[in-house]
Chain A
């Protein structure tokens, strides 16, 4: 089900926002016990749905773009009066004192927030196994992970408990779970959507993204929420980057030598079939060389932990969050953070503390920022020749819960997605068929990256290549 389809029914009056909400609440009732997609379900959504139903009767076609659409929200995005735990014990009882800008803008557009979803603690992970409040399971195969870190948001849409959801994407945390759950996952150009009211992880990488059942739906949400925000100085304007054109047919670059990185054979087959379909549809697919792309993950695991260690310094047990009492202030810090943070968070904070420590700063953080700059230049050069770059979203479909026990193997799940965060380019993961594992068809995704501010190009291309090709409304 898509936003477009729901809206059509809402306007006709054949199916109302109240019906939609009740049906989705029934799904949550039935499946959330097993899947654990939602950490909170919002009862006041019913009142919003009732008012949306009345507004559709009165306003019809002129109703705002997201009116009555049940949206699930990752638990690291602030909704006034609701908990925002970031799936961490340290924020277990934290209630948001204000709306994030993206929430305020979606409210303005009429959205109904159905519930808050599970994630890897502070968005650190690729499987949603790192939550302090239990793992989220993949609705397609509950023995597998939904991907992460926005796994709850992906599972919510995949099981039909929301028409779309919000996640955050620091290294692939929207695109990876979208691909594992058969959804469209979109990460805008850095600065495309305000981060005000979004719990920070790696501030130079973080972006809010969407998970939807069509490319058009991602576009609908993006148009409602994007744009300059006085509360986020990094938000961009139409003047920030050169305009990115739309075309009838696109020239798409594939960094072929990068695809040798441990791809499972049938996932590569789906990828090549996608290329074939695109060529048939009149697009042109060529090989390009992006040698630095495979170095992205190493640079990412320097920049991200460095920013994590700085951002998470605010959880000190003084102003908000968990407080564990010690003999003095210093001991309060040690105890609150020891008890409040999970293993992965501690790992990244220490790693970040190390790479930022004097004597190592230049060798690690300085170097990584340099590599990042070079990656941006390399990508810009390639975009002189092609309109989009295309890679698999992941080398494999959803893996088993508990399968990746050592941190590094988990980190490698993001190998294809981190470069869009490091360079700030917009990227979208679009479903590309399924592969069979143990008799179950598991979805895989293909990622498309556009030049900076090329979000509209991703939508235009995606609608042609996916929505229209599959007849999705």
Chain B
């Protein structure tokens, strides 16, 4: 894995990294990938279903909600930027200048 590959992954993962970090990560990720590649040669098993244990798609009816506004202030308090009862976010689409 090259430094450019790491930079691309970091971009996808929305993590800013320095050049030095990219170099270290390239070595580390390459080493780990070569280790985990050992599972490639395990064959057999029509087992392909991806689930943990016997539970799947377990949904309950959306009933019995807690009272309104009980957690609102606590949750808003955690937001870095707020405006009254709103979490403030920067503009997502910018106008072309």
Residues of A within 8 A of B (CB): 94-95, 97-98, 190-191, 204, 230, 233-234, 236, 240-241, 292, 295, 298-299, 301-302, 309, 313, 316-323, 328-330, 332-335, 337-338, 341, 343, 346-347, 349-351, 353-355, 357, 363-364, 366-371, 373-374, 377, 406-408, 411, 424, 452
- Contacting A353 at CB < 8 Å: which of B13, B31, B32? B13
Q: Which residues of B contact A357 (CB under 8 A)?
A: 9, 12
Give Cα A321–Cα B25 distance, bound, in whole angstroms: 25
B34 to chain A, nearest CB (A): 9
Q: Which residues of B contact A298 (CB under 8 A)?
A: 35-39
Q: C-beta contact mask, B45-72 vs A, less than 8 Å → 1, else 0? A: 1011110111100111000000000010
How many B residues, CB 8 Å from partner? 51
Q: Which residues of B contact A452 (CB under 8 A)?
A: 53
Contact B17 A377 (CB under 8 A): no
- Contacting B80 at CB < 8 Å: which of A313, A318, A335? A318
- Contacting B90 at CB < 8 Å: which of A332, A407, A424? A332
Q: Check if B28 is an interface residue, CB within 8 A of chain A.
A: yes
Contact A370 B78 (CB under 8 A): no
Give Cα A371–Cα B90 distance, bound, in whole angstroms: 43
Q: Which residues of B contact A295 (CB under 8 A)?
A: 38-39, 42
Contact B36 A346 (CB under 8 A): no
Q: Which residues of B contact A369 (CB under 8 A)?
A: 48, 50
Contact B87 A236 (CB under 8 A): no
A328-B90, A328-B94 known; A408-B31 Cβ under 8 A: yes
24 A/B residue pairs, CB under 8 Å, sorted by A: A236-B53, A236-B55, A292-B42, A298-B37, A318-B89, A319-B78, A320-B79, A321-B78, A333-B14, A343-B21, A343-B24, A346-B17, A347-B29, A354-B29, A363-B40, A366-B50, A371-B39, A371-B42, A373-B48, A374-B45, A406-B31, A407-B32, A424-B52, A424-B53
Contact B90 A191 (CB under 8 A): no
Task: Give the secondary structure class of B's interface.
Answer: loop
Task: Give the secondary structure class of A's interface.
Answer: helix
Give Cα A369–Cα B80 distance, bound, in whole angstroms: 38
Contact A407 B31 (CB under 8 A): yes
- Contacting A350 at CB < 8 Å: which of B29, B58, B91? B29
- Contacting A347 at CB < 8 Å: which of B25, B53, B80? B25
Q: Which residues of A contact B35 (CB under 8 A)?
A: 298, 301, 408, 411
A334-B15, A374-B47, A407-B28 known; A320-B78 Cβ under 8 A: yes
- Contacting B29 at CB < 8 Å: which of A319, A341, A351? A351
Besides the known contacts A320-B78, A329-B89, A346-B17, 15 further A-B residue pairs in the complex with CB atoms under 8 A apart:
A95-B74, A95-B78, A97-B74, A97-B78, A98-B71, A190-B52, A234-B58, A292-B42, A295-B38, A323-B81, A346-B25, A350-B29, A370-B47, A408-B35, A411-B32
Contact B10 A350 (CB under 8 A): yes
Give Cα A424–Cα B36 distance, bound, in whole angstroms: 20
Q: Check if B16 is an interface residue, CB within 8 A of chain A.
A: yes
A438 to chain B, nearest CB (A): 30
Q: Check if B44 is an interface residue, CB within 8 A of chain A.
A: yes
Give Cα A406–Cα B32 distance, bound, in whole angstroms: 10
Which of B15, B38, B49 has the most A CB atoms < 10 Å from its CB? Answer: B15
Closest to B1 in A: A354
Q: Which residues of B contact A94 (CB under 8 A)?
A: 78
Give Cα A338–Cα B91 distance, bound, in whole angstroms: 21
A346-B21, A408-B35 known; A353-B9 Cβ under 8 A: yes
B79 to chain A, nearest CB (A): 6
Q: Which residues of A contact B13 (CB under 8 A)?
A: 309, 337, 349-350, 353
Contact B9 A354 (CB under 8 A): yes
Give Cα A234–Cα B52 distance, bound, in whole angstroms: 9
Give Cα A147–Cα B9 distance, bound, in whole angstroms: 30
A118 to chain B, nearest CB (A): 22
Contact A240 B55 (CB under 8 A): yes
Contact A299 B9 (CB under 8 A): no
Which of A299, A318, A328 has the most B CB atoms < 10 Å from its CB? Answer: A318
Q: Which residues of A contact B25 (CB under 8 A)?
A: 346-347, 350
Q: Which residues of A contact B14 (CB under 8 A)?
A: 313, 316, 330, 333-334, 337
Contact B91 A302 (CB under 8 A): no
The 3 closest A-B pairs by CB, nearest first: A323-B80, A338-B16, A320-B78
Q: Which residues of A contact B74 (CB under 8 A)?
A: 95, 97-98
B47 to chain A, nearest CB (A): 4
Q: Which residues of B contact A234 (CB under 8 A)?
A: 52-53, 55, 58
B62 to chain A, nearest CB (A): 11
A191-B55, A301-B32, A406-B31 known; A329-B39 Cβ under 8 A: no
B95 to chain A, nearest CB (A): 12
Q: Which residues of A contact B60 (CB under 8 A)?
A: 230, 233
Give Cα A396–Cα B93 distance, bound, in whole angstroms: 54
